Structure 1
Amino acid sequence: MLENADVGKLIIRLTLGGLMLFHGIAKLLNGIGFIEGELASHGLPTVLAYGVYVGEVLAPLMVILGYQTRIGALIIVFNMLFAIALVHAHQLLSLGGNGGWALELQGFFLFTAVAVIFLGPGRYKLKN
């Protein structure tokens, strides 16, 4: 029988990594021009935009596979902090159209990644 805590960790990893990976795939298909523009508008080098591929493709794959999971989750945390600071800072204390927090999705990614850092990958993972 499966250990409940390890199954729960696997579900959290697959959810966090899978949902974040969709954002990375969209950037692979559509480019990172928007992110380059946001960086430039904040006086930051646009080459930093390529970091989104690490934060939204590589790190989610690490989390999904359970390979260096805590490092992958930490990268996602930094990715989300940059996204919130560059694009969503004005929404930090705002409600969305349906009454929830305007940054629910960003908050989910950020705080779930923090939880994965503390929880670790669980039993069901690639061997490190």
Structure 2
Amino acid sequence: MLDNADLGKLIIRLTLGGLMLFHGISKLINGIGFIEGQLASHGIPAFFAYGVYIGEVIAPLMVLLGYQTRIGAIIIVFNMLVAIALVHSHQLLTLGGNGGWALELQGFFLFIALALVFLGPGKYKLKN
């Protein structure tokens, strides 16, 4: 019999990890020039932009596979806090064109990753 709580955790992991991984793949294909520019505009060395590969490729894979899920999720939380601070801070209290919060996507990634930090991976995961 399937455990509903563990199945729910698996669905959350697959959704967060899968959707975040698309952003990482895009950066692998198209580069991180935009992020380097954002960092430089805030006086932060551009080489820190390579950290996005950890936050948007490595961490999502950890979450997807259920390997060190809490660590992967906290990396995604940090990644999203940096993204919001560097690029989206002016949108924190604004509505988007569709009537929702302008930062719905960023908020989704941030808060679902935070939930996984507390929930853990569930039993459907790689053994570690």
**TM-score bracket relative to the smaller structure:** over 0.9
Aligned twin of 1:67: 67
Alpha-carbon distance between aligned partners in 2 of 1:75 and 1:108, rounded to the nearest angstrom: 15
Aligned twin of 2:107: 107
TM-score, length-scaled by structure 1: 1.00
Alpha-carbon distance between aligned partners in 2 of 1:93 and 1:47, rounded to the nearest angstrom: 30
Alpha-carbon distance between aligned partners in 1 of 2:50 and 2:126, rounded to the nearest angstrom: 27
Counterpart of 1:56, as a letter, is E
Alpha-carbon distance between aligned partners in 1 of 2:94 and 2:52, rounded to the nearest angstrom: 25
Counterpart of 1:19, as a letter, is L
Whether 2:33 is the aligned partner of 1:33: answer yes
Alpha-carbon distance between aligned partners in 1 of 2:69 and 2:102, rounded to the nearest angstrom: 28
In the TM superposition, residue 54 of structure 1 has moved relative to its aligned partner by 0.1
Q: How many residues align?
A: 128
Aligned twin of 1:121: 121
Aligned twin of 1:89: 89
TM-score, length-scaled by structure 2: 1.00
Q: What is the aligned-residue identity percentage?
A: 84
Alpha-carbon distance between aligned partners in 1 of 2:98 and 2:23, rounded to the nearest angstrom: 22
Counterpart of 2:83, as a letter, is A
Structure 1 unpaired stretches of 5+: none
Alpha-carbon distance between aligned partners in 1 of 2:51 and 2:77, rounded to the nearest angstrom: 13
Alpha-carbon distance between aligned partners in 1 of 2:79 and 2:96, rounded to the nearest angstrom: 22
In the TM superposition, residue 20 of structure 1 has moved relative to its aligned partner by 0.2
Backbone CA RMSD of aligned residues: 0.3
Alpha-carbon distance between aligned partners in 1 of 2:126 and 2:76, rounded to the nearest angstrom: 19
Structure 2 unpaired stretches of 5+: none
Alpha-carbon distance between aligned partners in 2 of 1:84 and 1:24, rounded to the nearest angstrom: 16
In the TM superposition, residue 29 of structure 1 has moved relative to its aligned partner by 0.1
Alpha-carbon distance between aligned partners in 1 of 2:53 and 2:33, rounded to the nearest angstrom: 13
**Runs (4+) off by over 6 Å:** none
Counterpart of 1:82, as a letter, is V
